[in-house]
Amino acid sequence: MDLTSLNAPQREAVETTEGAVLVLAGAGSGKTRVLTTRAAYLIEQGVRPFNILALTFTNKAAAEMKSRVEAIAADADDMWVMTFHAMCARLLRIEGKHLGYSNSFTIYDASDALTVVKDILKELDVGKDAVEPRTVRSMISKAKNAGVTPARFKEVYGEGDTVKYTSWVYGRYEDKLRLNNAMDFDDLLLKTLLLFEEYPDVLDKYRRRFQYIMVDEYQDTNSVQYSIVFLLAKGSGNIFVVGDDDQSIYGWRGADISNILGFEKDFPGARVIRLEQNYRSHQSILDAANGVIRNNSGRMGKELWSSIKTGQKPLEFEAETDLEEAQYVAEKAASLLREGKYTASDIAVLYRVNSQSRVLENKLKERGVPYVIYGGQSFYDRKEIKDLLAYLNLLCNPDADLCFIRAVGVPKRGIGDVSLGKLYAAAQVQQLSLYDMCKQPEDVSKKAAESLKEFCGMLENVRAQMSGLTVLQIVERVFEDSGLRTMMLNDTSPEGRMRLLNVEEFFKSVADFERDTQGDHTLSGFLERSALISDVDAVGDEGDKIMLMTMHSAKGLEFPIVFIVGLQEGLLPHQMSLMDGDVEEERRLCYVGMTRAKKRLYLTWSATRYVRMGASFERMPGKRSRFLEEIPDGCLEPASVKRNSTAYFSHETVSQSPYSFAAQGRMSMPSAAPVLNKKAEHVPSAFTAGVAVSHPKFGQGQIISTNGEGDEKIAVVRFDTAGEKKMFVAFAPLKIL
């Protein structure tokens, strides 16, 4: 094989065929190429494909690796190249009889598993008010991924009602699956480990077969996956793992970074090879990313470098509010598209939590910039938001039968499909809406009839009070009186907590609407605006859209231009990590986001955000993320935004942009009020090092240094209480003392 196109560390990794090898592959360092080339090299050196096992985390990665190996090596069909779950499923089809399963066992998906949990809770006469089924299912999954059996569940997870109920369900859940000759996805891993531990002859069989084991994304392995690999590799000792401890970001779903950090202890004498040359980003981006990740103590250490030495330094934008932050992203994206050098699909906007997408979607929509939510739904398409909107629409339009059907079913009220069918038939005969018909539901069961009357009575009660309530108060009343709030609070699973965050973000959108000085400030006005914003308007090529995604979803992807929004304490790093006192995984997440960028990287945050305080939303100060503080001096520049210019944050921008609704003959959405920062009182030349100044927000301070001239002149000011700030002296409200 011709290996001359590989760099020295890549070639060393390919040619080291015997023993234990750990390849620390930095972001964009060509790890997939190393894995596939090494597999082909093994075959060329005389290793039978039958004796090679290559494990990945996604079917896409497995298919790509298999196709590349087949293109290089002719007889690669016998090589097992697949995900962990696929490997375990294939092995259990062959050996599952030892555990009492036939080779035709069924694999239950998440929905099937949840149905089984619900049935068991019903059999035990445990209602949702005691424990949420999704929480029980989530805890069972967590236990399985940690290798905890039903017998050890309470011993490991302690006391408490949720643990008690889950313990009751877990054993019965396992019995039901076994009776049905079924396994869930977690079982595929756990049963394989159980098979190896309880049947040494089976383990020996596969140790003899898999003489060469390769594992991709080793930092993402959980406890059970690690144990399976460890047991298999102890046979031949030929274990080759590729991973990056700096990109371990899935601890919340069971990934254990200690697996990669402890590799040399598990396999004494292991060779460690570092792939540090990055083929994706230019050096300025890498300098900033290296500076951030260097602050983690739990890492093996490496420094990414690139042969591309020139490129724009990462830019930081400090917004006054999260609305202005979103406006900046939307306008900058539209500006980049107008330049013609980049397409929409070249741009990605990354955020920490899904709820952050709402304000971004609004601002991109207002400017007609095409976008798509990657790895998730549009904010307004999420079930919890659509459920709440169904109630609100029904308040304004009782004839909306589709909204009625959705609202009456969430939360469950004991109104089944049969009862709804009878109600619909009666409504058709009398030519009434379902809402009006449910006030006199004579043709349905007595229980369902009472529930329908209570449902209508609840809505009528809210409608009677609407004239004396603000839109936000109406929404909150519906959320409470409908039972949606209780239902969501009872769901303590990670998904349940995320749904509550999304509802809070929805409340924020209502508060934003009420603060807007334009428009019809009624519930119907809000619903109309929401409908316009949430209605996806195709712009340009269907595939050419800006990607909006969480930072977790961005791993493994790359884009010429990346925006990371919400870089402030409480968001990134997230509040939960601050409460736990462990921000290292959050720092790795930030590093992953930064290293997705190839040419330009924008880092944004807002000095204030609207936060719920009791019954209202108040503007609360935000604090610059520690990760921005950790970027070395000289590696980050402030974004050169002139807030009084019509190029940014103005109504004129919408009509002038070729990516606006107006430019395409559609009605343009009103932009948020422009930022009214006026020019400073003094000419730029008056601001020099040593000059004492004051700022309406940051207080008194002193200029440490300046750079540039005229409108581009930047001053570094050390404020007495706010620390150091960089600002354009021509536009910052600085006053010389």
Nearest 5°: phi and psi at 138?
-65, -40
Q: Is there a contact between 389 and 533 (Cβ–Cβ < 8 Å)?
A: no
Running DSSP on this structure, what letter comes out for residue 712?
Answer: G
Classified as helix, coil or strand, 177 is helix
Are 259 and 228 in contact by the 8 Å Cβ rule? The answer is: no
CA end-to-end span of the chain, whole Å? 72
413 is catalytic: no
> From the candidates 132, 186, 187, 216, which is the catalytic residue?
216
Give, in degrees to the nearest 5, the angle at Cα 147 between 141 and 148: 75
Query: Is the sign of the CA dihedral 120, 126, 132, 136 positive or negative?
Result: negative
3-class secondary structure, 625: coil
Distance set, CA 552 to CA 202, 351, 590, 602, 627 (Å): 37, 9, 10, 18, 17
Nearest CA to 332 out of 641, 609, 702 is that of 641
Report the C-alpha gap between 463 and 170 in whole angstroms.
45
For residue 10, give the H/E element and its range. helix 8-15
Residue 55's DSSP bridge partners are 82, 215
247 belongs to the catalytic site? yes
Q: Which of 513, 519, 535 is nearest to 666 (CA)?
A: 535
573 token code pair: 């790093």
Three-state secondary structure call for residue 532? helix
Catalytic residue among 302, 499, 596, 598: 596
Question: Among 227, 234, 239, which Cα is nearest to 194's?
Answer: 227
| H or E stretch at 116 | helix 110-123
Return the amino acid letter for 464: A
Q: How many CB atoms lie within 10 A of CB 291?
A: 18
* Residue 406 is a catalytic residue: no
**Using CA atoms, how far apart are residues 18 and 500, in angstroms rounded to an integer?**
51
Residues in Cβ contact with 692 at an 8 Å cutoff, skipping those fewer than 6 apart: 700, 701, 702, 703, 736, 737
Give me the helix-helix angle, 401-408 and 446-465, nearest 10°: 110
CB count within 10 Å of CB 431 equals: 8
| Cis? peptide before 573, omega within 30° of 0 | yes
Spatial contact of 275 and 242, defined as CB atoms under 8 Å apart: no
- Give the closest residue to 49 by CA, choosing from 204, 214, 160, 201: 214
Cβ-based neighbour number of residue 338 at 10 Å: 13
* CB 334, CB 654: distance < 8 Å: no
Choice among 16, 17, 32, 211 that is catalytic: 32
Amino acid at 41: Y
For residue 453, the one-letter residue type is K
60: how many CB neighbours lie within 10 A of its CB? 11
Burial tier of 535 (Cβ tally within 10 Å: 0-12, 13-18, 19+): exposed
Question: Is-contact 223 256, C-beta < 8 A?
Answer: yes
Note if 596 is an active site residue.
Answer: yes
Note if 316 is an active site residue: no
Q: Which of 225, 247, 356, 550 is catalytic?
A: 247
> What distance in Å separates the CA atoms of residue 41 and residue 17, rounded to the nearest whole number?
9
Q: What's the count of helices (H) and strands (E) in the chain, helices before strands?
A: 29, 22
**Spatial distance between the Cα atoms of 98 and 94, rounded to a whole number of angstroms:** 10
- How far apart CA 314 and CA 44 sit, in angstroms, is 44
Q: Which residues pair with 563 in a beta bridge?
A: 349, 602
For the annotated catalytic residues, the residue numbers are 31-32, 216-217, 247, 596
